[in-house]
Amino acid sequence: MVLNYIWIAFFVIAFVVALGEWLIGGNALIFGEMMNSAFEMAKTGFEISLGLTGVLTLWMGIMKIGERGGAVNVMSRAIAPFFRRLFPDLPKDSPAHGSMMLNIASNMLGLDNAATPMGLKAMQQMQEVNPDKAKASNAQIMFLVLNTSGLTVIPVSIMVYRAQLGAADPTDVFIPILISTYFSTLAGLIAVAVYQRIKLWDKVILAYLGAVTAVIAWVIWYFSSLEGEALTRASNVASNVILFSIIIAFIGMAAWRRINVYDAFIEGAKDGFSTAVKIIPYLIAILVAVGVFRASGAMDVLMGGIENLVVAMGFDASWVDAFPTALMKPLSGSGARGMMIDTMTTFGADSFAGRLACTFQGATDTTFYIIAVYFGSVGIRNTRYAIPCGLIADLAGVIAAIVVAYLFFA
């Protein structure tokens, strides 16, 4: 229901702004630009889904091998004490535990193409035990908010963009992004825990969170000791080695248990194709709304209002130049990426705005995109409190990014 109102609001606000631009500014072409954007975004949504088909087919097949061979079950048992407290409504032996862990691990490594299929698989497994198939369960909301909080340890793609745009040190945003995304994830976890009345001071939860914090602290220490190309190369190698090791472990364990690996892969791959087809309408719906909102000039009006308000309150408005990336990130990953690149091109890759835009890009994830794709893949229409909690995580990440950017780059 919330997504429905937001979707309508995008079009209504875009229409009002465009009407004013036509009647007051005399721009008679604005509606044509909006329609062109709508068609372009619809095409983009289909192309994304089409491109995702191959990746989904591959990873759904790998996941099926992991399920048949018992690797996913082993991973589930390792994380079970923690997940049993975060997902109390999910059966203890649910394979969704393993799928969620793989998804979160892939997100932490910045492996978006690998994370999405694993996340969709986890959502489908949770849907199997969801009593109300049209309404998001507590477990699905917790998982989705953890996903949208965008915990990223190695932001490889952002560092590559910075290098391409001439940054003196493309890796200087690494630690700010890591700190910001950690606060985003923590805020999302706390928000959902409050809704679901989960006791976060439980010893097991504190132990797991402490371990994760220690790992992140070690990663910060290790990668901060590297410079330039060495950091990018190390992060790329680490990501790919870990990912391929998972594939080999799944295949090896299944073969050791005398599972027909090829047949298992084919069975899972079929699910990947059907899932990719299911998400097309949901993905196009959200991308078209975002495209119309941008083309109407509503985004520019919003940014101008924010900057005037900040200045009127007597605060420094330097961060506002990077803010379009933060506003776009919950709506569209490609849109936010475009805003980030535009900011670096306009103000410079090593400018305060350029670095902050990169930090915004890495601090959170595409909340509305993920909700549309993940919930859409299993036919959920009632998202309950998933959007407010996801936006709380986004807000925490944005605030943390601004504070950290002033500490590191001002």
pLDDT tens profile 82-93: 888 999 988 887
Any residues with CB less than 8 A from the CB of 164 and at least 6 apart, and which?
none
- Tell me how far apart the alpha carbons of residues 342 and 200 are, in angstroms, rounded to a whole number: 40
Number of neighbours of residue 227 by Cβ within 10 angstroms: 11
- Tell me how far apart the alpha carbons of residues 286 and 132 are, in angstroms, rounded to a whole number: 24
- Tell me how far apart the alpha carbons of residues 63 and 65 are, in angstroms, rounded to a whole number: 5
Burial label for 23, CB within 10 Å (0-12, 13-18, 19+), is exposed
pLDDT attached to residue 139: 94
Q: Does the pLDDT at position 239 exceed 80?
A: no
pLDDT, tens digit (0-9, with 9 covering 90-100), for 99-115: 888 787 767 655 555 67
pLDDT, tens digit (0-9, with 9 covering 90-100), for 204-237: 999 988 888 887 788 777 766 776 667 667 766 7
- The per-residue pLDDT of the chain, averaged, comes to 84
Any residues with CB less than 8 A from the CB of 292 and at least 6 apart, and which?
10, 11, 14, 34, 37, 38, 41
Q: Does the pLDDT at position 11 exceed 80?
A: yes
pLDDT attached to residue 402: 94
Comparison of pLDDT for 242 and 89, the residue scoring more: 89
Any residues with CB less than 8 A from the CB of 356 and at least 6 apart, and which?
319, 322, 401, 402, 405, 409
Q: Does the pLDDT at position 356 exceed 90?
A: yes
pLDDT above 90 coverage of the chain, percent: 28
pLDDT attached to residue 37: 87
pLDDT attached to residue 76: 67
Any residues with CB less than 8 A from the CB of 328 and at least 6 apart, and which?
290, 294, 299, 335, 336, 338, 339
Q: Residues 283-297: what's their mean pLDDT?
A: 81
Both structure tokens of 320: 């506002």
Model confidence band, residue 34 (pLDDT cutoffs 50, 70, 90): very high
Q: Does the pLDDT at position 295 exceed 90?
A: no
Q: Does the pLDDT at position 2 exceed 60?
A: no
pLDDT attached to residue 109: 58
pLDDT attached to residue 246: 80
pLDDT attached to residue 110: 54
pLDDT attached to residue 39: 92
Comparison of pLDDT for 179 and 127, the residue scoring more: 127
pLDDT attached to residue 355: 93
Residue type, 182: Y
pLDDT attached to residue 7: 81
* Of 114-123, 187-196, 214-223, highest mean pLDDT: 187-196
> What's the whole-model pTM score?
0.74
User: Lowest mean pLDDT: which of 8-17, 58-67, 114-123, 215-224?
Assistant: 215-224
